[in-house]
Amino acid sequence: ERGSYALSRAVESQNRAVVYWLVRQRVKAVHSTLILAHEDTEVMSFLVREAGADVDDDGAAMTGARFWPPLVEFVREGHYTAAEHLNHLGASVDRALTHFR
């Protein structure tokens, strides 16, 4: 969806005003949107609360292919503060670990 792409780009560029505006226009977050927010825990929280970002989403529902869930992606990339915050937002460590089988 075009709106979700715009939301991801706004998150990536750390443009909070555009992020908040798009979410208020009912644009939903997709798998990559939450991962792109790793530098801003406030935006991460907003995406989960207001834009429907799934803290355990592995991308399979949208793409048919499985990617790393955000928690695993954050740890793999060394974004430990983001990983800890995502855990506080309800990310499942058990579900994330199933990707290592």
pLDDT on residue 11: 97
pLDDT on residue 26: 94
Can you give the residue range of the structural domain that contains 88? 2-100
pLDDT on residue 63: 59
Residue ranges for the chain with pLDDT beneath 50: none
pLDDT on residue 65: 56
Number of domains in the chain: 1
Q: Taking the model in full, what pTM does it have?
A: 0.82
8 Å CB contact between 89 and 44: yes
pLDDT on residue 99: 64
pLDDT on residue 67: 77
8 Å CB contact between 71 and 93: yes
- Indicate if the alpha-carbon torsion angle 91, 70, 30, 21 is positive or negative: positive
CATH of the domain at 49: 1.25.40.20
